[in-house]
């Protein structure tokens, strides 16, 4: 067994892997690309941090690779699609650096409140500027935490020790978990309006990139202070600089930026910004813990086949995964559909399997549904392997049942998301040699493809609604690819599929707003569904069979 370690790891982590009899560990950081390509040619596993880019070229060179282990949380430097296609498990170390990042968040909170950086700079220039550097206490202030995953929860625990009032925004955190943390859950607008400090702990996704822009800062309480130790893409940096200069934002503590190292130093040089070079996770303790955790996960996988902290691949045989792929697609898309339709926060996911699908193991199908439910908030870090763990950490309950009651379909999945303020319910199936289809939404029968960008319209069952919807979309240049209508005594639901060539960007806020004003329309929601899951790649021996 050969393991290539391409970036720096603690000596203890290298020693743990090297101690396994018969294993060879090639640990050299900073080697030329050509040397790394040659080294992985006969390697069984590759260990990296953030410096090494694990792209298609590197994965292709590793013909024997079974695993890529990322010593850290983010896997932006790993081509997950290519790794999945090749049957390579990608592991990371989620949570190993949570305490370090939470502590750095508070270091920045205190620094921007007490003029620590400015005071230190003045002292080093032999200037005593006591009167000019009056600060503010954290005690009694409102801290708004945007994103209450592992790190956000660690921040909340520390904020209580500072006697801060804590509000949080996380659509996927149940109320009872927030209550245990001492956090009042509110929507993002309400958080911005009341918070004296806002700290960001979100992944970078289509929904979160540029979340804090000029319009968002204008809705914030004047004099707010902003902390970001998550992802630079969350903030429109020019808008933040403008807000600081106008006084709308009193100051900021930033550890991450859109472009690193910096190309534009405007924010970092601002006297009201405390900036650090992406070091929130850079503590001796965190680096040691990350190294040991990734080494242990890799050892357990290579030696015993135990998969922990994988982000891209389930622990099943390629044949089983290939058989289940259509229903994993169905489950993930049903989960994603309802996650974008349901009220928040969701506290329970109910699953029911009908017919042939309920006769075998459904563990992976349930994980696929949870992946669809969680991924809009947690990005690509959610997978079949870790979806249940992430759901459990957020207090999201999964209830699975099976039914032998005859239905119109031989294999049917029913998914219901429960929230404190309501629920949404969808059922779907996969026809033989076909694609996932929605067959019921909130009790109304409808037959629609579950793919691409959908506009879900609830309306009164009256003449003229469909025509007006088509006219509005046409006037905005939105081409309809598919249209399905379902009706019952309570009303109707329309599912509009947008032409793939246009993509979801064609459906702007103005389009949705006009649709909502149409006669007879009760609700309009935009849904973006994930792409089809690729089947597992068979080994050469399996291909031969």
Active-site annotation holder among 49, 66, 70, 231: 231
Segment 14-24, tens digit of pLDDT: 999 999 999 99
Active-site annotation holder among 31, 278, 308, 388: 278
Model confidence band, residue 545 (pLDDT cutoffs 50, 70, 90): very low
Q: Could you tell me how far CA 346 lies from the centroid of its own chain?
A: 16
Q: Residue 207 falls within a domain, yes or no?
A: yes
The token pair that represents 338 in the structure block:
């309802």
Model confidence band, residue 117 (pLDDT cutoffs 50, 70, 90): very high
End-of-domain residue from the set 408, 442, 476: 442
- CA-to-CA separations, 62 to 112, 398, 519, in angstroms, rounded: 47, 38, 59
Do the strands 184-185 and 249-254 form a parallel or antiparallel pair, or are they unpaired? unpaired
Do 368 and 424 belong to one domain? yes
How many Cβ atoms sit within 10 Å of the Cβ of residue 30?
11
Do 127 and 234 belong to one domain? yes
Model confidence band, residue 314 (pLDDT cutoffs 50, 70, 90): low
Could you tell me which of 397, 383, 415, 423 has the C-alpha nearest to residue 177? 397
Helices assigned H by DSSP within 79-226: 80-85, 98-114, 116-124, 150-161, 175-181, 188-194, 214-219
Contact criterion met (CB below 8 Å) for 286 and 100:
yes
Reply yes or no on whether the pLDDT at 380 is more than 60. Answer: no
Q: Phi/psi at 99 (nearest 5 deg)?
A: -65, -40
Segment 27-85, tens digit of pLDDT: 999 999 999 999 999 999 999 998 899 999 999 999 999 999 999 877 878 998 888 77
Reply yes or no on whether the pLDDT at 141 is more than 80. Answer: yes
516 among known catalytic residues: no
260 among known catalytic residues: yes
Q: Residue 544 falls within a domain, yes or no?
A: no
Reply yes or no on whether the pLDDT at 293 is more than 70. Answer: yes
Q: Residue 268 falls within a domain, yes or no?
A: yes
Do 146 and 295 belong to one domain? no
Could you tell me which of 484, 410, 494 has the C-alpha nearest to residue 457? 494
Do 265 and 230 belong to one domain? yes
Residue count of the chain? 545
The token pair that represents 472 in the structure block:
């509005």
**Percentage of the chain surpassing pLDDT 90?**
69
Do the strands 2-5 and 45-48 form a parallel or antiparallel pair, or are they unpaired? parallel
The token pair that represents 355 in the structure block:
């017919």
Could you tell me which of 249, 162, 160, 243 has the C-alpha nearest to residue 198? 249
Model confidence band, residue 515 (pLDDT cutoffs 50, 70, 90): very high
Instruction: Return the pLDDT at 224.
Output: 98
**Percentage of the chain surpassing pLDDT 70?**
94
d(CA 144, CA 228): 12
Instruction: Give every CB contact of residue 316 below 8 A, 6+ residues apart in sequence.
Output: 324, 364
Do 355 and 482 belong to one domain? no
Q: Residue 540 falls within a domain, yes or no?
A: no
d(CA 75, CA 354): 37
Across the strands, what pairs with 493? 458, 486
Contact criterion met (CB below 8 Å) for 370 and 335:
yes
Contact criterion met (CB below 8 Å) for 35 and 6:
no
Do 223 and 342 belong to one domain? no
Reply yes or no on whether the pLDDT at 319 is more than 80. Answer: no
Average pLDDT, whole number, for the chain? 89
Least confident residue range of 237-241, 278-282, 314-318, 333-337 = 314-318
d(CA 188, CA 265): 29
As for how many domains the chain has, the answer is 4
CATH assignment of the domain containing 113: 3.40.50.720
Q: Residue 538 falls within a domain, yes or no?
A: no
Q: CA angle, 253 as apex, 248 and 256 as ends, to 5°? A: 115
Could you tell me which of 152, 109, 351, 141 has the C-alpha nearest to residue 251? 109
Active-site annotation holder among 129, 137, 245, 260: 260
Do 131 and 206 belong to one domain? yes
Q: Residue 337 falls within a domain, yes or no?
A: yes
Q: Residue 310 falls within a domain, yes or no?
A: no
CATH assignment of the domain containing 421: 3.30.1330.90
Q: Residue 509 falls within a domain, yes or no?
A: yes
Instruction: Return the pLDDT at 543.
Output: 30
CATH assignment of the domain containing 473: 3.30.70.260
- Tell me the torsion sign for CA atoms 385, 386, 387, 391: positive
Instruction: Return the pLDDT at 290.
Output: 92
Model confidence band, residue 237 (pLDDT cutoffs 50, 70, 90): very high
Model confidence band, residue 421 (pLDDT cutoffs 50, 70, 90): confident
Do 259 and 182 belong to one domain? yes
End-of-domain residue from the set 387, 414, 442: 442
HEC-encoded secondary structure of 359-408: HCCCHHHHHHHHHHHHHHHHHHHCCCCCHHHHHHHCCCEEEEEEECCCCC
Do 108 and 224 belong to one domain? yes
Model confidence band, residue 538 (pLDDT cutoffs 50, 70, 90): very low
Instruction: Return the pLDDT at 528.
Output: 92
Reply yes or no on whether the pLDDT at 216 is more than 90. Answer: yes
Model confidence band, residue 535 (pLDDT cutoffs 50, 70, 90): very low
Q: 3-state DSSP call for residue 458?
A: strand
Do 463 and 525 belong to one domain? yes
Q: Is the pTM of this model over 0.85?
A: no
Model confidence band, residue 315 (pLDDT cutoffs 50, 70, 90): low
Task: Tell me the residue range of the domain where 76 lies.
Answer: 2-95+285-304
End-of-domain residue from the set 442, 472, 503: 442
Do 14 and 119 belong to one domain? no
Do 23 and 167 belong to one domain? no
Contact criterion met (CB below 8 Å) for 408 and 337:
no
Model confidence band, residue 405 (pLDDT cutoffs 50, 70, 90): confident
């Amino acid at each position: 067994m050969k393991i290539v370690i391409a970036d720096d790891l603690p000596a203890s982590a290298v020693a743990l892997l090297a101690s396994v009899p018969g294993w060879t560990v090639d640990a050299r950081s900073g080697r030329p690309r050509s040397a790394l390509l040659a080294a992985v040619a006969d390697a069984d596993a590759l260990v990296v941090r953030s410096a090494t880019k694990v792209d298609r070229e590197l994965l292709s060179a590793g013909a024997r690779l079974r695993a890529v282990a990322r010593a850290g949380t983010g896997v932006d430097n790993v081509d997950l699609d290519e790794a999945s296609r090749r049957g390579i498990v990608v592991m990371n170390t989620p949570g190993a650096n949570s305490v370090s990042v939470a502590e750095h968040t508070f270091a920045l909170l205190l620094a921007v409140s007490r003029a620590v950086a400015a005071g230190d700079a003045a002292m080093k220039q032999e200037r005593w500027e006591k009167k000019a550097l009056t600060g503010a206490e954290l005690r009694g202030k409102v801290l708004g935490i945007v994103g209450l995953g592992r790190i956000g929860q660690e921040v909340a625990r520390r904020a209580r020790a500072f006697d801060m009032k804590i509000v949080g925004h996380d659509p996927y955190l149940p109320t009872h978990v927030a209550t245990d943390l001492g956090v009042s859950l509110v929507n993002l607008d309400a958080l911005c309006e009341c918070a004296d400090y806002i700290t960001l702990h979100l992944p970078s996704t289509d929904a979160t990139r540029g979340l804090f822009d000029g319009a968002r800062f204008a809705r914030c309480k004047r004099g707010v202070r902003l902390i970001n130790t998550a992802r630079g893409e969350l903030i429109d940096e020019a808008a933040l600089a403008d807000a600081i200069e106008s006084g709308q934002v009193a100051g900021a503590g930033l550890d991450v930026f859109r472009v690193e190292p910096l190309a534009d130093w405007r924010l970092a040089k601002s006297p009201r910004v405390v900036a650090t070079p992406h070091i929130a996770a850079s503590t001796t303790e965190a680096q040691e813990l990350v190294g040991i955790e990734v080494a242990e996960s890799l050892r357990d996988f290579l030696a015993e086949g135990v998969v922990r902290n994988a982000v891209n691949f389930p622990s099943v045989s390629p044949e089983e995964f290939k058989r289940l792929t259509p229903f994993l697609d169905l489950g993930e898309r049903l989960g994603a559909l309802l996650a974008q339709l349901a009220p928040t926060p969701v506290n329970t996911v109910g699953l029911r399997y009908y017919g042939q699908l309920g006769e075998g193991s459904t563990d992976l199908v349930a994980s696929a549904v949870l992946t669809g439910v969680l991924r809009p908030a947690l990005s690509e870090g959610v997978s079949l392997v870790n979806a249940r763990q992430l759901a459990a950490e957020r207090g999201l309950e999964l209830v699975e049942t099976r039914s032998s009651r005859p239905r119109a379909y031989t294999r049917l999945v029913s998914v219901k998301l429960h929230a404190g303020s309501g629920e949404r319910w969808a059922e779907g199936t996969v026809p033989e040699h076909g694609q996932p289809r929605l067959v019921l939404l909130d009790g109304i029968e409808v037959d629609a493809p579950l793919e691409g960008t959908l506009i879900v319209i609830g309306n009164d069952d009256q003449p003229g609604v469909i025509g007006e919807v088509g006219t509005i979309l046409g006037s905005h240049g939105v081409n309809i690819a598919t249209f399905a209508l379902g009706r019952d005594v309570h009303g109707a639901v329309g599912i509009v599929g947008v032409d793939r060539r246009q993509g979801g960007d064609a459906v702007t806020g103005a389009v949705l707003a006009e649709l909502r004003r149409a006669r007879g329309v009760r609700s309009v929601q935009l849904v973006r569904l994930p792409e089809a899951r690729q089947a597992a790649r068979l080994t050469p021996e399996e291909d031969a069979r």
